[in-house]
């Protein structure tokens, strides 16, 4: 069996992987505090992976309170090289209906007051990272191949707007994001992606549209409808991940 190369960060609705044969759970203490929970080591589709529930295994940590630095540092500390991040998002583009799968290639950060870098104290020199392409193209292509193998419709590009939360956005805010070129909106894409880049991790996001963004649908946004879309969407994600994992290293 291969050494553990891949970590999967589960978002809303993905606190477990049903077909993950669990080997152990590992509590990791980091210089940046505690991660969202223990790391779950297991075997998926014949390969070892590490799983972490971003919001905690009881889904109790809101987006703006997640310790992103601890999460990414802990995964890096275990030796993984690649991270697939799963997120529930709202659809801004007209063609993105609930249940759509999007593999974004760009991101815009609208968050504030989040600890968003490892490069702060005790530096021998000021450090900048190239973030022109925020997602690993190699890993994005694996997700694309996984969707094709699972015979699921998907959108192979998009721009993920990361808002502060935990409230949803106003219709005017969504109009602004659309003018900025954003196609989906979520609350966890940053600083997670940038922190992964700082530690040289290959990182790609798998976004599941669970509702039309504010002002894009008819009537108010229903939490009940979102919950149904999350459940259906994450079932698709599990299916795709089972097809993606065997492609690692191919």
Q: What is the pLDDT of residues 191-250, one digit of tens each?
A: 999 999 999 999 999 999 999 999 998 878 888 888 888 888 888 988 899 899 988 876
1 — pLDDT class (breaks 50, 70, 90): very low
Q: Is residue 46 pLDDT above 90, yes or no?
A: no
Question: What's the CA angle centered on 236, arms 147 and 82, to 5 degrees?
Answer: 60
- Is 109 contained in some domain? yes
Interaxial angle between packed helices 137-149 and 223-244, expressed in degrees from 0 to 180 and rounded to the nearest 10: 100
Q: How many domains does the chain have?
A: 1
Give the CATH number for residue 115: 3.40.50.1580
| Residue 215: per-residue pLDDT | 92
Q: Calculate the dihedral angle through the C-alpha atoms of 7, 19, 184, 218, rounding to the nearest 10 degrees.
A: -160
Whether 54 maps to a domain, the answer reads yes
Q: Specify if 198 maps to a domain.
A: yes
In 3D, which of 56, 60, 58 has the Cα closest to residue 71? 56
pTM: 0.92
Let me know if residue 1 belongs to a domain. Answer: no
User: Which pLDDT score is estimated for 104?
Assistant: 98
Range of the domain at 54: 6-247
Question: Secondary structure of the chain: what % helix, strand, coil (to 5)?
Answer: 25, 25, 50
Query: How many other C-beta atoms can be found within 10 angstroms of the C-beta atom of residue 120?
Result: 10
Could you tell me which of 10, 18, 240 has the C-alpha nearest to residue 140?
240
Q: Return mean pLDDT, the chain.
A: 90
Residue 22 located in a structural domain: yes
């Amino acid at each position: 069996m291969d050494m553990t190369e891949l970590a999967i960060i589960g978002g809303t609705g993905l606190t477990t992987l049903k077909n993950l044969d669990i080997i152990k759970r590992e509590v990791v203490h980091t210089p940046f505090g505690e991660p969202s929970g223990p790391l779950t080591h297991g075997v998926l589709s014949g390969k070892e992976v590490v799983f972490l529930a971003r919001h905690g295994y009881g889904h109790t940590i809101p987006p703006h309170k997640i310790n992103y630095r601890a999460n990414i540092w802990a995964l890096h500390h275990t030796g993984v090289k690649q991270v697939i991040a799963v997120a529930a998002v709202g659809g801004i583009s007209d063609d993105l209906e609930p249940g759509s799968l999007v593999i974004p290639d760009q991101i815009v950060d609208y968050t504030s007051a989040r600890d968003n870098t490892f490069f702060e104290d005790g530096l021998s020199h000021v450090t900048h990272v190239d973030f022109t392409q925020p997602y690993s193209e190699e890993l994005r292509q694996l997700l694309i191949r996984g969707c094709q193998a699972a015979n699921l419709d998907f959108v192979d590009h998009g721009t993920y707007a990361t808002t502060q939360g935990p409230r949803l956005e106003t219709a005017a805010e969504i109009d602004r994001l659309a003018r900025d070129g954003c196609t989906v909106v979520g609350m966890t894409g940053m600083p997670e992606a940038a922190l992964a880049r700082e530690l040289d991790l290959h990182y790609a996001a798998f976004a599941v549209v669970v509702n039309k963004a504010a002002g894009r649908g008819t009537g108010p946004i229903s939490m009940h409808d979102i919950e149904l879309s999350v459940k259906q969407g994450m079932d698709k994600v599990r299916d795709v991940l089972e097809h993606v994992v065997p492609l690692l290293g191919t």
